Amino acid sequence: MISEKSFEDAKQKALYLAKAAISKKGFNLIILEIGKVNPFTDCFLLISGRSDRHVQAIADAVYETLKKARCSILGVEGYEEGKWVLIDGGDVVIHIFQETTRSYYDLEGLWIDAPKVQVKGEEAERTGEKEVAGC
């Protein structure tokens, strides 16, 4: 049985979800640790995709990874349009954008005071190797 405490913290969960995004060729992945500046969630995981279908494919992979790990999914917004998909995973909120939409809304600039972690494929792979699952 997967327990709710399987992830050490939201950052580890975000790295685990990044692996799913990378598997679908998501790029420019960044984790913003916004819990240090605002209490409504711990982390944002920002991901870029190249087209509507690419954004939707990344969203599908992240969503399925959350379900498989038995994590709460509080909501999904923007999937039909595929410009900006938001998946609310509670302590991690995932934003999957097309690049033009991402630069227009500039969440990195809006949350400039939040510590930022650039995610590389190797870091997400190391997290995935631990077989981390569960929320």
In a domain, residue 1? The reply is no
**Poorest-pLDDT segment among 36-50, 79-93, 115-129:** 115-129
Domain limits for position 48 = 10-127
Parallel, antiparallel, or unpaired: how do β-strands 92-98 and 43-49 relate? parallel
CATH code of the domain containing 33? 3.30.460.10
Q: Would you state the pLDDT for residue 37?
A: 87
Predicted confidence at residue 118, as pLDDT, reads: 87
36 in any annotated domain: yes
Q: Which of 80 and 127 is assigned the larger pLDDT? A: 80
Confidence label for 125 from pLDDT (cuts 50, 70 and 90)? low
Tell me if 5 is assigned to some domain.
Answer: no
**Which of 36, 45, 40, 48 lies closest to 16 in space, CA to CA?**
45
Is the pLDDT higher at 132 or at 32?
32
For the chain, what is the mean pLDDT?
Answer: 88
Closest CA to 82 of 44, 48, 31, 106: 48
Total domains in the chain come to 1
Residue 103 has pLDDT above 50, yes or no: yes
